[in-house]
Structure 1
């Protein structure tokens, strides 16, 4: 059937939603609009601006659908009653239903919207109490008798006229509605993919959830199932695309967007099989990272794509030998130190996928990483920040070394430190405030080579002291050997102690940077690629654009 365009009042569309005539298919994304977007939409309706068309698919096919919209329960229709699946317009129609039919509950609800007659502007309310007469909750519009009864006390004709205009606009506003019919889910999916009339762009995850959806397979639920299985291991916070890459590789492709897109052409039983294999492989990858690398959670991983790679590796090689495990660890540290995954393109993804399978089959002994690493002064110039791969590598190296608190000698809780939700466990060996007094700026002070792990209490105790002050006090109380052990557990060699006791920041930083770099090279394996200047090493943990 050809698309059937009609024009419908928004109030009628909202009613069709509430009686279950228009419903949201399960593959639709959740409501994602911000409060400002809600206000902009209702303001457009009041000003009679166009808000775009909506698209529904009339079908008797029984698809999984959402049982509520805008926190409102949707009525259940009869088994033989055809329904209209909303393909485009979810955010707008949810907003209209929400503001018109909101039932007072949480006063901070995004649906608690009122119109100020004096200013002709819409606002979110923050309480459920009766508002002044000139502030009209939009939910009143759903009951005309109640609406006008409450306005009877208004004695300002200008405000009464504006109240009439508000009522009439919401009662009479029409939206273009296009209805599709006689189409299979396979035909509807590409239509849904190409829609972007609301300005809220669909991600590749949204598109693939629609393109692969069937009563037997729901990509959204599949990925949530993988996340649930990883939650107890604390490796569930990766973004959807990371899991899509792993699923694409497990389905016979590689990690690229092209392979993700090819999921649409696979049989449902093939997708289900690949999803089950991905789930098991992800659990093994999480166990490897926790036990062999010392990474306690997903946030501590320098690059999310490392996890996708490891999923495919442990899918094809669920039980590596000791030699293979050593090589996988070397690969992890080398890809981190070189920043390999910051520029992971489709060619590299295809090459890496082949290498994984050859490695699993025993055809190759090494996982090649064709990337250069920086020179030692990388640690002297790279800023310390929570989304930096170099910073995360230092954190993991420190965790791997079982760091001790400099002041009291107690073991540092690396799980807490590597959550990256609180930086109080990290401390500048040369305090920033002290360096500021020495006219050394924040960009020079806040570098990775100046960072150790320290408990919050010790951090407060040291505050802005000169290293010569707080280190001398530790030596006096605990002895030099004790301090050296604590420093070495934080990857600060004894050779840096004299420079610190002399408050020589430049000398300290150079010694410490060289030491950390030597440790990192040892963990990554030496002799792999030429050295690059540190400014040419990209250390962001953001995914590449591919």
Structure 2
């Protein structure tokens, strides 16, 4: 393994010029924030160790890769290319986040903002009146839009400072100082800072780089892709740690060339329907599930089953889209992530995977709705690995057929000590938000404004009844969804007053209150009992049991 040292600007110019330095597609996406980039620049200015980088000279293999991003946007998807065999190209195995951050800092932008250097910051200035803004940094770097007229004059664009030819340094620095209007100590500090930033980024021995296969003379002496992946997994245990999902995805990408684009497109489509907490981790586990592989999330399982997973992806995508649409449909009504655990989708997707186009059969909507809600009421898939297998074993007997609802509910009953397989007041009180989603459909949903966010309100205010009725105040019979702003305005109003302007029909349809007479303070216990029974009846009618 060859070892050398390089200047930061040498590496950035290799990235910028003719794709001399790129990223293997096994790498994760860029994840550093603007604050992390600012702190990295401060650390470099203060002479802190930069840390080594690990490159891979890919001469003999065909390898998917992608370029570093010049203008980073969080929503962008980046299309990989393929390096042909027998063409040399260096790729970054460790240090991607730092190099990408520096490339953005010197040449590019982060979410439409470019990096500026406060040329009067530093030890003697140390302007830390705003500790959150300074982040503990001595040298101040800030991201601004180029067209922002409120930017202070002493913030100078990093790309401008680094673009000066070496022989014109002093003239360019004087030009900046005159533009800003600095004199005396501030002018001296600005001059020192601009010289220092140029010096450290051009310092030839700052960055130690080790390169795998630099001296490999033939394919027989070069690492294969599995060895490279093993090295990649081992070195990525520091810095911004790779999650298990990142490592699993890297493994898949090393074998399945279109994995990145396929996963990104599917997640983007699903997220358009609303945030349900789905990610690459979910897709990998879901593919293992429909491929009838062990749902345990381990490298060995992905290595063993990836061909089946790749072959299953198209039908899995259809089934997942159908499952999400089904959950959010008017007759099911799961429209908020607060009601939902993403792992609940695994058995739903598995069932739909074995139907044409992954579609929900018309005559199975009610059984499937019932199954979905009882999974949620029981929190059955909070620890999904073994329980996915139990449910899948039952579903495997009914591929392409009617949903075996009773048998699936028996799995819940047998495998979970405290369970609910028929509607009861106890079940509703254990999950009041889910119960109210059935009692008051379409109220709990994703909203654009905080004012309409659904909150659980006590119809009889806690402050008025908790002391006398501690066992009833939090009962489902006394709870209702109310928009956040309306809840704030309601404060501790008693229901007889709050509902005064609401018609009897509205009171009955929206709140399941049949008789306005029970809204009196001295009828609280009777009110809770009557309304609880109405909610139980509505849930039974909805779920069918």
Task: Please point out which of 255, 263, 268 is paired with 1:223.
Answer: 263
Check 1:263–1:283 CA distance in 2 against 1; reply closer, same or farther (3 A cut). Answer: same
**Higher RCO, 1 or 2 (CA under 8 Å, sep at least 6)?**
1
Counterpart check, 1:500 vs 2:519: yes
- Asked if 1:489 corresponds to 2:509, the answer is yes
**Number of residue pairs matched by the alignment:** 485
In the alignment, the residues of structure 2 paired with residue 146 and residue 310 of structure 1 have an alpha-carbon distance, to the nearest angstrom, of 67
Q: Please say if 1:391 is aligned against 2:433.
A: yes
Change (3 A) 1:287 1:44: closer
Compared with structure 1, are the counterparts of its residues 489 and 27 closer, same or farther at alpha carbon in structure 2 (3 Å cutoff)?
A: farther
The change in CA–CA distance for 1:233 and 1:322 in structure 2 (over 3 A counts) is: same
Q: Please show how residues 88-127 of structure 1 align to structure 2 within 5 Å.
A: 88-102=94-108, 109=113, 111-115=115-119, 116-117=121-122, 118-119=125-126, 120-126=138-144
Asked if the contact 2:3/2:211 (under 8 Å) is kept, the reply is yes
In the TM superposition, residue 15 of structure 1 has moved relative to its aligned partner by: 1.4
Q: How does 1:149-160 map to 2 (within 5 A)?
A: 149-152=171-174, 155-156=184-185, 157=188, 160=191
Given that 1:11 and 1:171 are in contact with CA atoms closer than 8 Å, whether structure 2 keeps it comes out as yes
TM-score by length of 1: 0.74
1:65 aligned residue: 65
Other structure's SS at 1:178 match: strand
Q: 1:13 aligns with which of 8, 11, 14?
A: 11
Asked if structure 1 preserves the Cα contact closer than 8 Å seen for 2:381 and 2:388, the reply is no
Q: Which residue of 1 aligns with 2:425?
A: 376
**TM-aligned CA deviation for residue 314 of structure 1:** 1.0
Q: TM-score, normalised by structure 2?
A: 0.74
Match of 1:418 among 422, 439, 445: 445
Q: Distance in 1 between matches of 2:456 and 2:277?
A: 28
Residue 339 of structure 1 deviates from its aligned partner by 2.2
The answer to whether the aligner puts 1:38 opposite 2:37 as a matched pair is: yes
Q: Output the CA distance in 2 between the equivalents of 1:298 and 1:265.
A: 36
Cα contact 1:88–1:195 (8 A) shared by 2: yes
Contact 1:256 1:349 in 2 (8 A): no
Structure 1: where are the runs of 5+ without partners? 383-388, 400-413, 527-546
Matched, 1:471 2:499: yes
SS in 2 for 1:341: coil
Alignment partner of 1:111: what SS? strand
Residue 277 of structure 1: aligned partner:
315
Aligned partner of 2:348 among 284, 305, 310: 310
Is residue 246–residue 308 contact of structure 1 (8 Å, CA) maintained in 2? Answer: yes
Tell me: CA distance 1:252–1:423, structure 2 relative to 1, closer, same or farther (3 Å). Answer: farther
Q: Distance in 2 between matches of 1:326 and 1:438?
A: 39
Higher mean alpha-carbon deviation, 208-217 vs 503-512, is at 503-512
CA contact (8 A) 1:281 1:315 kept: yes
What whole-Å deviation, never above 9, does each CA across 1:124-172 have from its counterpart, x for those lacking one? 0536479878655433134245543233356545654454444322221
Whether contact under 8 Å (1:21, 1:77) holds in the other structure is no
1:289 partnered with 2:327: yes
Aligned positions of 1:41-440 closer than 5 A: 41-60=40-59, 61-71=61-71, 81-102=87-108, 109=113, 111-115=115-119, 116-117=121-122, 118-119=125-126, 120-126=138-144, 128=146, 136-139=156-159, 140-143=161-164, 144-145=166-167, 147-152=169-174, 155-156=184-185, 157=188, 160-172=191-203, 174-181=206-213, 182-196=222-236, 198-214=238-254, 217-230=257-270, 238-258=278-298, 262-266=301-305, 268=307, 270-291=308-329, 293-295=331-333, 297=335, 299=337, 301-318=339-356, 325-342=365-382, 344-360=383-399, 366-367=407-408, 368-370=411-413, 371=416, 372-373=418-419, 376=425, 390-399=432-441, 414=442, 417-419=444-446, 422=450, 424=452, 426=454, 436=463
Question: Is the CA contact (8 Å cut-off) linking 1:235 and 1:286 kept in structure 2?
Answer: no
Deviation at 1:237, TM superposition (A): 5.5
Q: What RMSD over aligned residues (CA atoms) do the two structures have, in Å?
A: 4.2
Give the deviation of 1:289 after TM superposition: 2.5
The offset of 1:510, in angstroms, is 4.6
Structure 2: distance between partners of 1:467 and 1:10 = 68
Moved more, 332-341 or 313-322: 313-322
The answer to whether the Cα contact below 8 Å between 1:21 and 1:84 also exists between their aligned partners in 2 is yes
Question: CA, structure 1 residues 65+134, in 2 after alignment: closer, same or farther (shift >3 Å)?
Answer: same
In structure 2, how many angstroms separate the alpha carbons of the residues matched to 1:424 and 1:229?
25
User: For residues 446 and 102 of structure 1, do their structure 2 counterparts lie closer, same or farther at Cα, with a shift above 3 Å needed?
Assistant: farther
Structure 2: stretches of 5+ with no match in the other structure: 73-77, 127-137, 178-182, 214-221
Residues 252, 302 of structure 2: 8 Å contact kept: yes
| Residue of structure 1 in register with 2:218 after alignment | none
